[in-house]
Amino acid sequence: MVVAVPKEIKIREYRVGMTPAGARTLAEDGHAVLVETGAGLGSGITDDQYKAAGAEIVDSAVEVYSRGELIVKVKEPLAREFDLLRKGQTLFTYLHLAPAPELTRMLLDKEVTGIAYETVQLADGSLPLLHPMSEVAGRMAVQVGAYYLQKENGGRGVLLAGAPGVRPGKVVILGAGTAGSNALRIAVGMGADVTVLDIDSGRLGFLDDHYGNRIHTLMSNSQNIEDEVKRADLLIGAVLVTGDRAPLLVNRETVSEMADGSVIVDIAVDQGGCIATTRPTTHDHPVFIEEGVVHYGVTNMPGAVSHTSTFALTNSTLAYVRRIAALGVAAAAAEDEALRRGVNTHAGALCNGSVARALDLPFKAYVPSG
């Protein structure tokens, strides 16, 4: 199979869909690997490193897409990439289709098989290809929040660690999954006063056992959310419903009662966001002020730490890429239920129920054939 890796074009997206080690492994498996020139530079990987691994360097995205059978990316295609995709092609990347009707329609119209990293799901409910980037985004959220809490960056001038005789900053985390737990880890390490809310009492119990009186755990309900958010210096949205839009947990009125200069980092912005006042931003213009609160809504947070993120992501994706390349999508999905759950579009049909509900489109379960 021809596996092709284009250069990412999202604003300040420096990650790349494959490392030289991955290219070498696929070449050793007998596949052709095409990499667009310069695709790895943002992650510290040169064209020469890909060539030494057995990949062919091609000069343009047009050639990558025209020759590639399996396109391996990091982020969803942008509008200027739509015309490059063709019927029958397989696209393996983060798609986040629930809040993206135009992208979804293009994949359906072109009959592209779109496999979303974020909906590849194991039998225990875990998301192996979302997990590494959720870890990175969770850890970054506190780092970013601490930066924007500084007065010169628009914040209220709060140090999360506090100082002798001065209370630490209050961090409120909505969601105790992978992203929320990693945000919690960093916030505790920085000495903040941390409260985490979740609907899973077992998960809260685990965190309480692990951190003891260094954190506060609360069941996630409208009353607790409202009470805690109003007092937060840094609010981190880290909720996820696999494939679906994020649930809206914080309304505008509650945000308006936060102190001026407080900071919101909504990690769920890729899936529509869980806070009413958030909207997608870019690394070029990462924040905006709404209701006196600094909002950070960058949709590709891990792209800022591209070297770490690229290697963390591709450590997880490569096994699936190899399986698809060796067997084809149908046989690979028939063999691997987790991969089958990752198929969002195929042959003009929308195959993910959560996305179909979010976009009010017909749903057809993917049944591998052949």
Give the catalytic positions in this structure: 96, 270
Q: Are 280 and 296 in contact (CB under 8 A)?
A: no
Return the residue matching tokens 């809206």.
Answer: 248
Amino acid identity of 152?
E
Tokens of 263: 């900071």
Secondary structure in 3-state letters for 46-111: CHHHHHHCCCEEECCHHHHHHHCCEEECCCCCCHHHHHHCCCCCEEEECCCCCCCHHHHHHHHHCC
Which long-range contacts (C-beta less than 8 Å, at least 24 apart) are formed by 23-30?
23/50, 23/53, 23/54, 23/55, 24/53, 24/54, 25/318, 25/322, 26/321, 26/322, 26/325, 27/53, 27/54, 27/55, 28/54, 29/322, 29/325, 29/326
Q: Report how far residue 270's alpha carbon sits from residue 272's, in angstroms, rounded to the nearest whole number.
A: 6
Amino acid identity of 332?
A
Tokens of 251: 């309304």
Residue 211, φ and ψ in degrees, nearest 5? -100, -15
Q: Are 130 and 340 in contact (CB under 8 A)?
A: no
Cα torsion through 24, 325, 117, 281, rounded to 10: 60
Q: Report how far residue 365's alpha carbon sits from residue 237's, in angstroms, rounded to the nearest whole number.
A: 31
Cα torsion through 67, 71, 74, 80, rounded to 10: 60
Hey, how many other C-beta atoms are within 10 angstroms of the C-beta on 24? 17
